[in-house]
Structure 1
Amino acid sequence: MTTCSGTKEFEGAAFVKANFKGATLRFSDVSGVTMRGVDVDGLDIDSHDLFFGSLFVNGVDVVPLVDAELNRQFPGRELQKARTPEHLREGWMAVQSAWQETVTGTPQDLVDAHVEDEWSLAQTLRHLILATDAWLRGGILQIQQPFHELGQIFTGADQMGFDMSIFRADPPTYEEILDVRAERQGQVTDFLATATTDLLAEERENPWGGDDWRPSVGDCIRVI
């Protein structure tokens, strides 16, 4: 199987009668791609940035439809866009409830299992620890070194110059992960308990660097 990585040679390219059946694209930019007369049976798309743009299928922007269906499947999800302290607190309660159901409903022998190349439940919880550290402790509270050693950093962070020595090399136990995750959840709960509308509107630096976006405190919370 051919693997292409870190290439821009296909930007603006045209493919005619090409066969991409069974191909996998990860961490790739397919924005602005146009497909006409294509067979899309079984096409599977997962994009965290889907709701920041548009996706047209046969002339119909399906993003609002996907958004509405996910809100139906996951009650409380609609509060991820909340703007007031009260609604953010309500949304955070819904998030915690959903994760608690996932954690308690997963057998112990499956917490390290993988579906295809995705993270396991244990790794995902570690990434949630990292996300809380980045956006609450780093972004909002501006702690100089906000990261816990159990955090799961995203792929390619070392190539971006991120200090990987912060994190433990040996895998933690599931109990350790749950303990730190609970602690970080408590920190978010405590912060939201006293958050005000004015505080949510304050600007912060992007915890991952760059000057192209200065998130508000509310933006940081909504990421978590």
Structure 2
Amino acid sequence: MTTTDPLDLRGARLVAADLHGARLVRADLSRVVMRGVEIDGADIDAPWLLDGGSLLVNGVDVAPYVDAELDRRFPGRSLRRAADPEGLRTAWAAVERTWAATLDRVAALPAGTVDVSVDGEWSFAQTLRHLVMATDTWLRGAVLGVEAPYHRLGQPNVEYAADGHDPSVFADGTPAWDEVLAVRAERVAMVRDYLADVTDADLAGTRPNPWAPEHRETVLSCLHTVLEEEWEHHRYAVRDLAAVAAAAPGA
């Protein structure tokens, strides 16, 4: 394999390479083969793995075990693929209960905790702001067809600007926590209100994919994306809250 791009390692063969302590972010490791490797203490976070993917460790596909364990750790997560109106309402109620308990936990932590970043990841406040953006993308924009769906406090992901979208619609800096909470509460209620009256016929309707308008998604698929965003980012949030608490003086 020959390349002039230091970021393009497709097809590379690494033999006796020392990657101890390396950190790979937004890297494509699909179909990577590792043989005779030392992976003690390795930490893999691959949210898309559980969407029909596989991960073989010593010949065993561990993806189903990971999915089942996450469902055990986060009660209500298993409902995220509900396919009918009542199931979706139940699934969203579980999301609301989970986040309410986490917000209560955050309220008991020292001031400023919500703006602490762990290992360069989003802070807790930024995570809530990203969920505002996710709701705006998949419910306000895709499902409801709002022409300018984004609230200025939304937190875009890296791909948003990289794909040519205008990041200036979002606020710079660190908004007040109370303001973030208020906008987040509005978006949570927006999903709840939509699900209160949704019908099977509504769910079967199609909309342009907000990131690839040439492709269409069912309304149900859009709502599943909202649920996936909620559970994945909750997992990140509590992971980092645990790290912040462990690093606090006296912990």
Query: How far does residue 128 in structure 1 lie from its aligned partner after superposition?
Result: 0.4
The equivalent residue for 2:104 is: 104
The equivalent residue for 2:30 is: 31
Distance 1:198 1:6 in 2: 50
Query: How far does residue 48 in structure 1 lie from its aligned partner after superposition?
Result: 1.7
Distance 1:215 1:123 in 2: 27
The equivalent residue for 1:215 is: 217
Q: TM-score, normalised by structure 2?
A: 0.83
> Any idea what SS the aligned residue of 2:156 has?
coil
Structure (1 or 2) with the greater helix fraction = 2
Q: TM-score, normalised by structure 1?
A: 0.93
Per-residue CA deviations over 1:124-163 (Å, capped at 9, x if unaligned) read 0000000000000011011111000000000142232111
RMSD: 1.4
Are 1:138 and 2:141 counterparts? yes
Moved over 3 A (4+): none
The equivalent residue for 2:48 is: 49
> Any idea what SS the aligned residue of 1:215 has?
strand
Query: How far does residue 7 in structure 1 lie from its aligned partner after superposition?
Result: 2.2
The equivalent residue for 1:17 is: 16
Greater alpha carbon shift after TM alignment, 88-97 vs 162-171 = 162-171
AA of the residue aligned to 1:222: H
Query: How far does residue 114 in structure 1 lie from its aligned partner after superposition?
Result: 1.4
Which residues of 2 match residues 121-200 of structure 1 at below 5 A?
121-200=124-203
> Any idea what SS the aligned residue of 2:217 has?
coil
Distance 2:173 2:120 in 1: 20
> Any idea what SS the aligned residue of 1:133 has?
helix
> Any idea what SS the aligned residue of 1:144 has?
coil
Query: How far does residue 197 in structure 1 lie from its aligned partner after superposition?
Result: 1.3
AA of the residue aligned to 1:149: R
Distance 1:39 1:144 in 2: 51
In structure 1, runs of 5+ residues without a counterpart are none
Query: How far does residue 215 in structure 1 lie from its aligned partner after superposition?
Result: 1.9
In structure 2, runs of 5+ residues without a counterpart are 227-251
Greater alpha carbon shift after TM alignment, 115-124 vs 156-165 = 156-165
The equivalent residue for 2:67 is: 67
Distance 2:33 2:173 in 1: 44
The equivalent residue for 1:202 is: 205
Query: How far does residue 210 in structure 1 lie from its aligned partner after superposition?
Result: 5.0
Residue 86 to residue 150, structure 1, CA distance change in 2 (3 Å): same
Per-residue CA deviations over 1:65-113 (Å, capped at 9, x if unaligned) read 0000011111110001111111111111111111111111112331111
Q: Report the number of matched residues.
A: 218
Distance 2:156 2:39 in 1: 33
AA of the residue aligned to 1:133: D
Distance 1:185 1:156 in 2: 24
Distance 2:45 2:204 in 1: 30
Distance 2:73 2:147 in 1: 38
Distance 1:181 1:6 in 2: 40
Distance 1:49 1:164 in 2: 25
